[in-house]
Structure 1
Amino acid sequence: MNNNLDGLYKRVSWRLMPFLFLCFVAAYLDRVNVGFAKLQMQADLQFSDAVYGIGAGIFFIGYFIFEVPSNLLMTRAGARIWIARIMISWGLISSALMFTSSAATFYVLRFLLGVAEAGFFPGIILYLTYWYPAARRARMVAVFMSGVAVAGVVGGPLSGWIMKAFAGVNGWNGWQWLFLLEGLPSVLIGVWTLFYLDDGIRAASWLSEQDKLALEREIAADRTRQQHLPLARLFRSAKVWLLALVYFLCVMGLYGVSFWLPQLIKNSGVKDVFDIGLLSAVPYLVAAVTMVLAARHSDRTGERRWHTAGAALAGALGLVAATIYSDHTALALAALSVATAGILSTFPIFWSLPTALLGGTAAAAGIAMINSIGNLAGFVAPYLVGAVRDATGSTASGIYLIAASLLAGALLVVTAVRRLPGT
């Protein structure tokens, strides 16, 4: 029976995961391509590092405000329609960033991009709970989140090539072409979502009735171990707030790297934007492999806490080493690879904690709440590094602060996250 069930889940995974992975590659590329656009846009528009940091981070203010409502609306509208809506709207707004002409328009469009994308990531995490029990979920989240790494592998060289090859075409700058050409695929994938994605097990026409019943039994057994908290109690739950804090500290590391990686490589002595794009793919390629292996090991052993903390610690040490060797391209790139692999490996394992704890409406709101609070670090991290760089002329102090937040997250997971299921 277990072999039959493993085979069934393999079929489900081949149906769902490549598509969800593709969605996340498009989403993450549109979220962080501003890091590459900065290499040209900042000089063209005379933006300071602080202005860039605010613009990069204000995305997460809109994201924070609309995250919980978006996830609750998905439970009513259905995953297929709601995820399609998110992708189409964010693709259009991401493309519209090509019309940025001032700090004000930059801020407004980045804020609206956050509003449009709010609910996508927690919506997919919630969607995976419709299909997979907790014991199988970390590796699926890892496959989905490896889209971050692949967006880095593909996005770096692609972004560098677009900005170099299209500069001046039709009178537009390279960074304007970057926003246009990387935004439109999200719109097309959003339309595809309407025809491809199913709202859940019961709606899947490609499954037999026997298959549906087998999957539903697995999900039903899993939900008996979850807490179905009323929304009022959810927002007063110390466990949920603790998980949100841990996530915030880890996300500081993610966006410290995502928004500043091209600049850190440039600081090591690489000047050509295409070369920067190629080299920026290396840390993400290492991370793509590492995060899947770490999640598989965590699923196999059933241990979550030390896996999460160890990955965060590796990320912190990698950032420190990258800063120390910032003037040596090969050593800086090796350290950034360790940092990126460690940081990205924390997330699929981390998300096994709240999804094992929460069920029902509490899962939709709780996942969104943890994600929205945590992603406020996406505002804090780039602004912090940018402000410190403006004040000191160096990114070093800002990167050290990002590393310290990862260390704090690792310590908090080890010392405080003790009594949650699956830790």
Structure 2
Amino acid sequence: MERSLEQATMRRVAWRLIPFICLLYFIAFIDRVNIGFAALTMNKDLGFSASVFGFGAGVFFFGYFLFEVPSNIILDRVGARLWIARVMITWGLISGAFAFIQGEMSFYGLRFLLGAAEAGFFPGIILYLGYWFPIRYRAAVVSLFMAAAPVSVLLGSPLSSLLLELEGLLGLHGWQWMFLIEAVPAVILGFVVLVYLTDRPESATWLADDQRAWLMSEMEAERAGRRVQARHNLLSGLTDLRVLALALVYFGTSAGLYTLGIWAPQIIKGLGLSTMNVGLLNAVPPTIAVVAMILWARHSDRTGERMWHVVIACLAASLGLMLAGAAASVVAVIAALSLVNVGISAAKPPFWAMPTLFLSGPGAAVGIATINAIGNLGGFVGPWMIGWIKDRTGSFAGGLMFVAGLLLISAILTLVVARAGRRAAPARVALP
């Protein structure tokens, strides 16, 4: 009886929350990386070098870094519904303002503001999912949520390419139309969040009474189990060595992710293809990655293993970047980028199941935000170094090798952290 109640409850929660949250992240990721497609024509129109573009694309993560932890603390206190709505509306408005970039400083300024506006969204969602899904479901649920990132590239690539074809309409460049049109969904969905999301299980009127009672009991038992292990407050979530080490692991995966999102269109364009063909080919790697991510996360949940699922995925992504740097044909480049996509995407869900094994309460809010904030600085370092090295060598190869090295370090650190922290990690929650 209890098993059937669990299944019915989790199915109801998953169908209520996951599709909508995936849609939000889909829009977030498009607004975050559509700068990579804008660059196909914007850089020439505004006279941006590879170094200028790489720095501006990456400066997003300084704003993200500075406001990440405060944003997640506020979300934990005021509720996900109100705060995620605020995040989406402000980032949508700023994203649309990119249509009016005039030069380097306005480019840098808007990218910084976009990062500040979006800070808290991703770790806030990770924290929010922790309110609703027991740990044994966590990696699979996170994989479904994070599948929105490669899906956004899959669908957003041809869309962005198509919008670039609006060049000259009403006196605007195609990249200006792209920013304006792709910003609208974030603002609209921000208002939808206010009426759709439920902050906590105890407020879920859309659950039956017995389902709500079971879920509240399950999540409280899980929180109590973590409290037995350690008392986590704001300071512990910020200073726990495992949190800081995982932040460095995430640094490498973020460098890889945003190298793809920001530079892949230009890498493919360098093979002499049209803008539309670039959009279509750029959609191939994330298509493969979506399937690989979900299967890998389910295997991680089924086996209860996290460490090797992160390590193997990081090594695969590192190898893919090395191969991409040496590839000379369209087929070879797309195959290498597919391997990178698979590795980066597959590493994320088991990785994000790791911090919730030893953090709870306010410490979880701060710890997750700290990992995401520091880790996402890799999103600055990776793209910036790609542009800096390209300006000096005329090739993407050196920058790709640099990011591959960061992912190799991530794999090694994961091994060190997991093995050092086994004694401190709480026992897995038994299946009912």
Same-fold call, TM > 0.5? yes
Partner of 1:10: 11
Does residue 355 (structure 1) correspond to residue 356 (structure 2)? The answer is yes
Does residue 229 (structure 1) correspond to residue 232 (structure 2)? The answer is yes
**Aligned partners of 2:355, 2:239: CA distance in 1, in Å?**
15
Give the superposition deviation at 1:233: 3.1
**Aligned partners of 2:59, 2:251: CA distance in 1, in Å?**
16
**Aligned partners of 1:2, 1:282: CA distance in 2, in Å?**
40
**Aligned partners of 2:403, 2:247: CA distance in 1, in Å?**
17
Contact 1:57-1:379 at 8 Å conserved across structures? yes
Partner of 1:244: 247
The number of residue pairs the alignment matches comes to: 420
**Aligned partners of 1:75, 1:405: CA distance in 2, in Å?**
32
Write the deviation string for residues 245-302 of structure 1: whole angstroms up to 9, x where unpaired. 11112211111111111011112332x1111011100001111111111000000000
Give the superposition deviation at 1:133: 1.1
Partner amino acid, structure 1, of 2:195: F
Does residue 114 (structure 1) correspond to residue 121 (structure 2)? The answer is no
TM-score by length of 2: 0.95
**Aligned partner of residue 48 in structure 2, secondary structure:** coil
Give the superposition deviation at 1:2: 1.6
Partner of 1:294: 296
Give the superposition deviation at 1:403: 0.7
**Aligned partner of residue 147 in structure 2, secondary structure:** helix
Instruction: Please list every run of 5 or more consecutive structure 1 residues that lacks an aligned counterpart in the other structure.
Output: none
**Aligned partners of 2:258, 2:56: CA distance in 1, in Å?**
13
* Residue pairs, 1:303-322, within 5 angstroms: 303-322=305-324
* Residue pairs, 1:9-408, within 5 angstroms: 9-164=10-165, 166-226=166-226, 227-270=230-273, 272-325=274-327, 327-408=328-409
Contact 2:242-2:417 at 8 Å conserved across structures? no
Give the superposition deviation at 1:240: 1.1
**Aligned partner of residue 305 in structure 2, secondary structure:** coil
TM-score by length of 1: 0.97
**Aligned partners of 1:100, 1:305: CA distance in 2, in Å?**
43
**Aligned partners of 1:339, 1:173: CA distance in 2, in Å?**
32
**Aligned partners of 2:385, 2:100: CA distance in 1, in Å?**
26
Instruction: Please list every run of 5 or more consecutive structure 2 residues that lacks an aligned counterpart in the other structure.
Output: none
Partner amino acid, structure 1, of 2:250: Y
**Aligned partners of 2:309, 2:300: CA distance in 1, in Å?**
7
Contact 1:28-1:148 at 8 Å conserved across structures? yes
Partner amino acid, structure 1, of 2:372: N
Contact 1:244-1:371 at 8 Å conserved across structures? yes
User: CA RMSD, aligned part only?
Assistant: 1.2
227-236 or 304-313, which moves further after superposition? 227-236
**Aligned partners of 2:86, 2:240: CA distance in 1, in Å?**
31
Write the deviation string for residues 52-104 of structure 1: whole angstroms up to 9, x where unpaired. 01110111000000000000001121110100000000001001000001000
Give the superposition deviation at 1:324: 1.4
Contact 2:237-2:359 at 8 Å conserved across structures? no
Give the superposition deviation at 1:169: 0.5
Write the deviation string for residues 178-208 of structure 1: whole angstroms up to 9, x where unpaired. 1001111110111111111111111111012
Contact 1:249-1:406 at 8 Å conserved across structures? yes
Contact 1:228-1:361 at 8 Å conserved across structures? no
Write the deviation string for residues 92-141 of structure 1: whole angstroms up to 9, x where unpaired. 10010000010000011111001100000000000001001111000110
**Aligned partners of 2:65, 2:36: CA distance in 1, in Å?**
21
404-413 or 118-127, which moves further after superposition? 404-413
Partner of 2:411: 410
**Aligned partners of 1:247, 1:90: CA distance in 2, in Å?**
23
Give the superposition deviation at 1:411: 1.5
Give the superposition deviation at 1:152: 0.6
Contact 2:27-2:186 at 8 Å conserved across structures? yes
Write the deviation string for residues 362-382 of structure 1: whole angstroms up to 9, x where unpaired. 011110011000001111111
**Aligned partners of 1:42, 1:366: CA distance in 2, in Å?**
38
111-120 or 406-415, which moves further after superposition? 406-415
Contact 2:237-2:362 at 8 Å conserved across structures? no
